[in-house]
């Protein structure tokens, strides 16, 4: 029996989704089914990304219906595809379905969703972080192959990845936004070197990646030559939606860490000032949650709009405020970090201690686009304010001064 709470009559699409979830859970009981098998069955039923095309993990329906699927699957103890493969699930998967060939969609999407093949995105470089369009890694055509050279940095989970979404410069004579091309690259190719970057948490979740005459067949191009900037925007908009567009239940998510610490404080430490601080941050979290709910309800099929930057920007700052307040309430206990041994994590989601979550939150206002970049996007594309000064917009990349 389909169980979907609603105050109105269910739509045809909701009934269809509910019946398919029933089928998924009945034929693949989560307690008795391997996670990979369960996720494969979920993909085959079109319940992986419900707004994707049929045959590629979706049903071509409104993306807001995905929440119905996820709530029921998680409540039944089913696996979370995002946990194992967050970059693939939230960023490169939507890019492949938007820009990939039918062969690429058929080859990559299912093992991406099941977590059998991990993905990373290869965008930032040592000399072009926020100015992504200024990247200098190169791709030179050689018959049916493209030979790529360069360095990427801050690449999350590159050490686990089978595939990467790589953007390189293929036309240095074009203006910087126009001369880029995107490829799917085999991260296990011997010409690809992955080196760990140890963070202040002790982990090496990030990496730097070097390409030395890495050959990529032209069939692995996403879009066409020169489409790299537009392909990248698809990835970045989905990344910001993935990072900042979550819709947890009221009082859950990051803010739950703060309220839990408050509840466990001794009575003599629950003074009025601390209570006011907790309530102020809790209200900010609730406003952000409701904003994300509204944005998701307005979202149509296709790429997320610039509104996704609202959740990303506000959520990054909120996470830092939450854990700063948590550390303040913990007092001297906040200094008890534990082991600082370097590890290569299996996922980029979550932290096992509050202290680690506090340190990890410092990256939130940088990753996925800095807060300053998000403010520019919102000012220009949402509020309609005059654009920032860009003196190199019409200048060929080869003529732009660089360090």
Residue 160, both tokens: 């686990």
In contact, 53 and 60? CB cutoff 8 Å: yes
Beta-strand ranges (E) seen in 286-376 are: none
> Phi and psi (nearest 5°) for 326?
-60, -45
CA 317 – CA 313 distance, rounded (Å): 7
In contact, 69 and 113? CB cutoff 8 Å: no
Check residue 62 and give left, alpha or beta (phi > 0: left; psi -120 to 50: alpha): beta
Q: Residues 239, 263, 277, 307: which is the catalytic one?
A: 239
- Give the distance from CA 261 to its chain's centroid: 28
Among 299, 295, 306, 300, which residue's Cα sits nearest to residue 384? 306
Three-state secondary-structure class, residue 385: coil
CA-only gyration radius of the chain, Å: 22
> Phi and psi (nearest 5°) for 386?
-60, 145
289 DSSP assignment:
H
> Phi and psi (nearest 5°) for 347?
-155, 165
Among 303, 306, 261, 307, which residue's Cα sits nearest to residue 288? 307
Residue 139, both tokens: 């791709």
Quick check: is 9 catalytic?
A: no
Whole-Å CA distances, 248 to 139, 252, 310, 332: 42, 6, 16, 31
Location of structure tokens 């989560």: 30
In contact, 255 and 322? CB cutoff 8 Å: yes
Among 8, 27, 313, 348, which residue's Cα sits nearest to residue 199? 348
Among 169, 180, 178, 164, which residue's Cα sits nearest to residue 122? 164
CA 64 – CA 59 distance, rounded (Å): 12
Among 215, 195, 247, 239, which residue's Cα sits nearest to residue 93? 239
Looking at the annotation, which residues are catalytic? 239
């Amino acid at each position: 029996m389909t169980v979907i709470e609603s105050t109105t009559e269910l739509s045809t699409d909701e009934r269809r989704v509910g019946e398919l979830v029933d089928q998924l859970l009945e034929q693949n009981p989560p307690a008795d089914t391997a996670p990979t098998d369960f996720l494969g069955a979920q993909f085959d039923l079109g319940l992986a990304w419900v707004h994707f095309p049929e045959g590629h993990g979706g049903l071509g329906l409104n993306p807001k219906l995905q929440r119905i699927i996820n709530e029921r699957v998680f409540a039944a103890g089913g696996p979370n595809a995002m946990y194992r493969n967050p970059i693939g699930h939230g960023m490169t998967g939507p890019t492949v379905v938007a820009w990939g060939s039918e062969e690429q969609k058929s080859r990559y999407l299912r093992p991406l969703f099941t977590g059998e093949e991990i993905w990373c995105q290869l965008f930032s470089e040592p000399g072009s972080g926020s100015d992504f369009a200024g990247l200098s890694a190169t791709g030179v055509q050689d018959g049916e192959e493209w030979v790529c050279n360069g360095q990427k940095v801050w690449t999350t989970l590159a050490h686990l990845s089978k595939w990467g979404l790589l953007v390189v410069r293929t036309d240095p004579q074009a203006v910087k936004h126009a001369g880029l091309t995107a490829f799917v690259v085999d991260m296990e190719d011997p010409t690809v070197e992955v080196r760990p970057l140890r963070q202040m948490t002790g982990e090496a979740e990030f990496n730097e990646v070097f390409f030395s005459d890495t050959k990529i067949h032209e069939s692995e191009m996403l879009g066409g030559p020169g489409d790299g900037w537009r392909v990248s925007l698809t990835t970045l908009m989905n990344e910001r939606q993935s990072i900042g567009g979550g819709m947890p239940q009221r009082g859950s998510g990051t803010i739950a860490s703060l309220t839990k610490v408050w509840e466990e404080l001794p009575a003599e430490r629950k003074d009025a000032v601390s209570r006011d601080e907790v309530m102020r941050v809790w209200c900010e979290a609730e406003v952000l949650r409701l904003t994300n709910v509204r944005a998701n309800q307005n979202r149509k099929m296709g790429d997320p709009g610039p509104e996704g930057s609202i959740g990303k920007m506000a959520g990054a700052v909120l996470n830092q405020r939450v854990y700063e307040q948590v550390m303040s309430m913990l007092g001297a206990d906040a200094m008890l970090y534990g082991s600082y041994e370097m590890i290569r994590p299996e996922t980029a989601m979550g932290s096992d201690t509050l202290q680690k979550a506090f340190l990890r939150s410092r990256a939130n206002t940088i990753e996925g686009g800095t807060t300053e970049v998000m403010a520019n996007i919102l000012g220009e594309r949402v509020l309609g304010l005059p654009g920032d000064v860009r003196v190199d917009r019409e200048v060929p990349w080869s003529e732009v001064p660089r360090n």
